[in-house]
Structure 1
Amino acid sequence: MEKKLSVLIIEPYFDGSHKAFIEAFCENSQHNTRLLSMPARKWKWRMRGSAFEMAKRLSELKSQGHGFDAIFCSDMLNLAELKGICPEANVPSVIYFHENQFTYPNQIKDKRDFQFGITNLSSALAAEKVLFNSRYHLEDFLSESEKVLKKMPDFKCLEILGRIRDKSQVAYPGICRNIESRIPFRDVPQISWAARWEHDKNPEDFFLAARILREQGYKFRMNVLGQSFANAPAIFNQAKAEFADVIENWGFKESKREYLEVLKGSDIFVSTANHEFFGISALEGAAAGCAAAVPNRLAYPETFNNSELLLYGSSAEDLAERLKSLIADKGLREKNAREAIDIAAQFDLRKTANLIDYELLNAVLL
C-alpha cells in the first residue's frame, strides 16, 4: 500500500458480529488503527446518543495531540450528528452497514420508528464511502428507503438515493480463515442450527422440520447453538423438552473455539432465518465441513452462489424434504459439503480488510 493512514474506528455496539468484524479488520488492516467503542447495550439509545459520547472522546484525543486521517464506523453511529457537533470528526469517513433500521425486523407487535432508518440515511449521506455486507442488503436498504421517503407529505428528496448508490459498494464481512474442514460420515448425522435466539431467525421452522423427520422415522442428533435473551421465543423451552433424547449441544458457547468444535463435529448446518443480510454462521458451518441447508431467500442465494444443492425452498416442509435426502444419502451429503467448503473459501477476511483499506484511502484522496 502506497500510504498508511491513521484510522479512527468508532463502534457504539461492540459485541457479537460487530466486535468480531472490527477485531478481524484491525488484525488484517495495513493502516494504523485506533478503536473507540461502547458496550452493546440498549441499541436504540446507542443510536440516539453515542455521537455525544464519541464527540467528547474525540475532543479528549485531540487535546492529547492525537489526529486521524479517516474515520471508519458502523451503522449504529449517527455519523451526520457526530460531524455536526464535533469539528474533530470532520475528516473523510467510511461507514459499514451490518444492518439497517428500515428493514431490520421489529419485535412482534412493535410499531416501527422510522427515525432510526432516517439516521441510517443521514449517516450514509455524511460518509464519503458506504459499504454493505451484501448486494442484497444494499438493494434492500435503497428500496425500503425509497418507500419511506415517498411517505413524506412533500419535499421527498428522492434524489439522495442516487447519491448514496453512487458511493456504495459491497464488502462481504468474510469468515475466519483458520476453520478446519472435516466431513463426517455418520450413519446418524448431527444437525446444527446456530443463530440468535430471536423471532427473526425463525426457529419454529427448524423444530417443525425436526418433528417431521422424527415422525417419519429418520434418525439424527441435534445441536442448537446461539445467544439467548430474556425474551427468547417460547419454542426453545418446548423443543428442549421434546428433543431431549437427541440433543448433543444446547445454548451459547462461551468461546469461538468451542463453537467451531461443535460445527466441525456436525454433519449438516441448517438456517431457517427470515432475516439475514450475509450469513456468517452458515458460512462458518460450510467451512467446517457441514452440508448446508439454507433457505432460498434473503442474502443466501448471493452468498451460496444460487446453488440448488445447498438452497432449499422456503418452508419447514421444504427443509424436511432436503434433510431426508441428506440423512439417507451419504454421497449426496458429501457432494453438498464439498461444494459448501469451496463457497466458504471465497469469503476470506483478508480480502475484506484489503478492500476496506483501499476504500479508506480513496476517501482520503477524494
Structure 2
Amino acid sequence: MGAPRVLLVEAFYGGSHKQLMDLLQENLSSCCLCSLPAKKWHWRARTAALSLSQSIPTSGSYRVLFCSSVLNLCELVALRPDLARLKKVLYFHENQLVYPVRKDQQRDFQYGYNQVLSCLVADAVVFNSSFNMESFLSSISSFMKKIPDHRPKDLEQLIRPKCEVLFYPVHFPDVSREHDKDPELFLSTMIKLSERQVDFQLSVLGETFTDVPEVFSSARLLLSRHIVSWGFLPRKQDYLKALCDADVVVSTARHEFFGVAMLEAVHCGCYPLCPKALVYPEIFPAEYLYSTPEQLLKRLQSLCRRPDATRRHAVKVDTSSFSWSTLKDRYQTLLSLDAPL
C-alpha cells in the first residue's frame, strides 16, 4: 500500500464524527487519519487547528483533505501552507448558525464565524441533509449583521456553488424483527398516557450526562410500572435488541440535522413519530409527523391501543438509501484524487 493520498482530519473524534472517519478509513484506500479526542467541544472548535497543524505529518503524497466543520479549516491551511494546495472537503454534521441556545445573545459568534471562514477556503462543502445546508446558507446574512461595521458581503453567493448534500452513511446492523431532545415533552406525554390507563411498555435509551434534568427522576417513579429499559445500554447488541423489541420510536427533538438514531430504530422495525420540523420532513413521509404535543399524545394513544396493526405496518422509509453500501460511490467520488495541485 502506497503513501496516503487522502488526509482525514477530525478535531472532535467521537460519536458520529468518529464513526464517519472510521468508516472512510476502513473502506477507502490510502487514507491517513489525524484526530483529537472528543472532549471539551468548545475548546476544540477554538484551538484544534493549531494543535493539529503541529501533529499532522508532512507528506508530498496528500491530494485530498477531508474534515468536519468543528475544525477551523482557514486557520489550519494558514498554519500549514503545504495543505492549502489539496482538494479541501468540509463536512457539516451540524451548523452553528442555527444550533439552539436559550437566548440568541448567548450564541458565541466565533463558532459560526469559524464555519463561514472554513467554507470560504474549502473546495467542496458537504452537508448531511438539505435542512442542514439551507438553514446554514440562509442564515449567513443575518448572522453577519452582528458585526458592528465593515460587514462582509455576498458570502452566501460565494459559498453556495461549492455546496452539496450527501447523507451521513449509516452502518445499519444486520437485524431481524422479533425497535437536545426535549425530554420534558416526551416524558410528560408518557405520563398522560399512563394516566389514561393506556397499556404500554417504555424504554428510555441514551447516555447519562452529569446534569440530568429533574424530569427524568420524577418521571421514572411515575412510569415505573411501564419501564423495560432506562438509561444507557453500553453493549451495542443490547441497544439493538431494545430497538427490535419495541414497536414505536418517538423523537421530541428541538434540533436535529440528520437523525441516525431514528433511522436505526426504523431499520429495526419501529413505527416512527417525529416533529413536523427540522430535518424530519426531508426523511419521513407526512403520516409519521406530528405538529403539536396534543397530536403526539393522540397518535401514541391510537398506536398503543392497536398494537397488532402497528406491528404489521411497513414503514414507508427506505433505510437502504442512507446506508454505506448505497452512498459509498458518492463518497469515493467526493474524495477522488483528481484534486488541484
Letter in 1 for 2:334: E
- Residues 215 and 228 (structure 1), Cα distance of their counterparts in 2 relative to 1, 3 Å cut: same
Q: Distance in 2 between matches of 1:129 and 1:335?
A: 43
CA contact (8 A) 2:205 2:232 kept: yes
Q: Deviation digits for residues 56-96 of structure 1, max 9, x if unmatched? A: 012xx22xx56311110001100000001112322211010
Asked whether the equivalents of residues 120 and 158 of structure 2 are also in contact (C-alpha less than 8 Å), the reply is: yes
Letter in 2 for 1:77: L
Partners of 2:34 and 2:214 lie apart in 1 by: 37
Determine which of 184, 190, 207 is the counterpart of 1:210: 190
From 70, 83, 87, the counterpart of 2:81: 87
Give the aligned length: 338
Q: 2:334 aligns with which of 355, 359, 365?
A: 359
From 324, 339, 344, the equivalent of 2:315 is 339
Contact kept in structure 2, 1:7 and 1:69, CA below 8 Å: yes
User: CA offsets, 1:170-226, max 9 Å, x none?
Assistant: 0110322334241x6xxxxxxx7xxxxxxx300111111111111111111111111
Q: 1:118 aligns with which of 85, 110, 113?
A: 113
CA-CA distance at 1:308 after TM superposition: 2.5
Aligned letter for 2:21?
I
Counterpart-to-counterpart distance in 2, 1:261 and 1:114: 42
* Distance in 2 of aligned mates of 1:33 and 1:80: 22
Residue 237 of structure 2 is aligned to residue 239 of structure 1 = no
Shift of 1:354: 2.3
Q: Deviations over 1:213-256 (max 9, x none)?
A: 11111111111111121123221122122212211111112132
Is 1:328 the counterpart of 2:310? The answer is no
Residues 345 and 332 of structure 1: CA distance in aligned 2, closer, same or farther (over 3 Å): farther
The 3 A distance-change label for structure 1 pair 123 and 265 is same
Change (3 A) 1:57 1:67: farther
Distance 2:276 2:203 in 1: 22
For structure 1, the 5+ residue unaligned runs are: 185-191, 193-199
Residues 124-176 of structure 1: per-residue CA shift (max 9 Å, x gap): 11110000010001000112212112333443333121121101000110322
Q: 1:256-275, aligned counterparts within 5 Å?
A: 256-275=236-255
How far apart are the structure 2 equivalents of 1:67 and 1:363?
Answer: 13
Deviation of 1:318 (Å): 1.4
How many Å separate the matches in 1 of 2:154 and 2:302? 49
Determine helix, strand or coil for the equivalent of 1:9.
Answer: strand
Q: Do the aligned partners of residues 320 and 362 (structure 1) sit closer, same or farther apart at CA in structure 2, a change above 3 Å counting?
A: farther
Note if 1:348 corresponds to 2:323: yes
Q: Deviations over 1:317-365 (max 9, x none)?
A: 21111111211224541454x124x422221123333212212227615
Whether the aligned pair in 2 keeps the contact of 1:25 and 1:349 (CA below 8 Å) is no
Question: Aligned partners of 2:144, 2:337: CA distance in 1, in Å?
Answer: 30
Deviation at 1:299? 0.1
Determine the C-alpha separation between the residues in 2 that align with 1:237 and 1:109.
30
Q: Is the contact made by 2:320 and 2:326 (CA closer than 8 Å) also made in structure 1? A: no
Kindly provide the amino acid, as one letter, of the partner of residue 107 in structure 2. Answer: R
Equivalent residue for 1:47? 45
Secondary structure of the structure 2 residue equivalent to 1:37: strand
Q: Quick one: which amino acid aligns to residue 19 of structure 1?
A: K
Q: Which residue of 1 aligns with 2:9?
A: 10
Mapped partners of 2:195, 2:79: distance in 1: 61
Is the CA contact (8 Å cut-off) linking 1:132 and 1:172 kept in structure 2? Answer: yes
Query: Match of 1:195?
Result: none
Asked if structure 2 preserves the Cα contact closer than 8 Å seen for 1:227 and 1:252, the reply is yes
Mapping 1:13-24, distance limit 5 Å: 13-24=12-23
After superposition, the Cα gap between the structure-2 partners of 1:364 and 1:51, relative to the gap in structure 1 and judged at 3 Å, is same
Alignment partners' CA distance in 2, 1:363 and 1:125: 20
Q: 1:248 to 1:101 in 2, by over 3 A?
A: same
1:57 paired with 2:35, answer: no
In the other structure, the counterpart of 2:72 is 78
Helix, strand or coil for the counterpart of 1:361?
Answer: coil
What are the ranges of 5 or more consecutive residues in structure 2 without an aligned counterpart? none
In the alignment, what sits opposite 1:97? 92
| CA RMSD, Structure 1 to Structure 2 (Å) | 2.1
Query: Which SS does the other structure have where 1:309 is aligned?
Result: helix
For residue 65 of structure 2, give the secondary structure of its aligned residue in structure 1: strand
CA contact (8 A) 2:99 2:255 kept: yes
Letter in 2 for 1:177: F
SS at structure 1 position matched to 2:170: coil
Identity across aligned pairs (percent)? Answer: 35
Matched, 1:250 2:230: yes
Counterpart-to-counterpart distance in 2, 1:80 and 1:351: 32
Letter in 1 for 2:258: F
Q: Flag the 1:233–1:147 CA change in 2: closer, same or farther, 3 A.
A: same
What residue is the counterpart of 2:206 in the other structure?
226
Q: 1:343 to 1:335 in 2, by over 3 A?
A: farther
Q: 1:251 to 1:37 in 2, by over 3 A?
A: same
Counterparts of 1:281 and 1:107, CA distance in 2 = 24
CA contact (8 A) 2:64 2:88 kept: yes
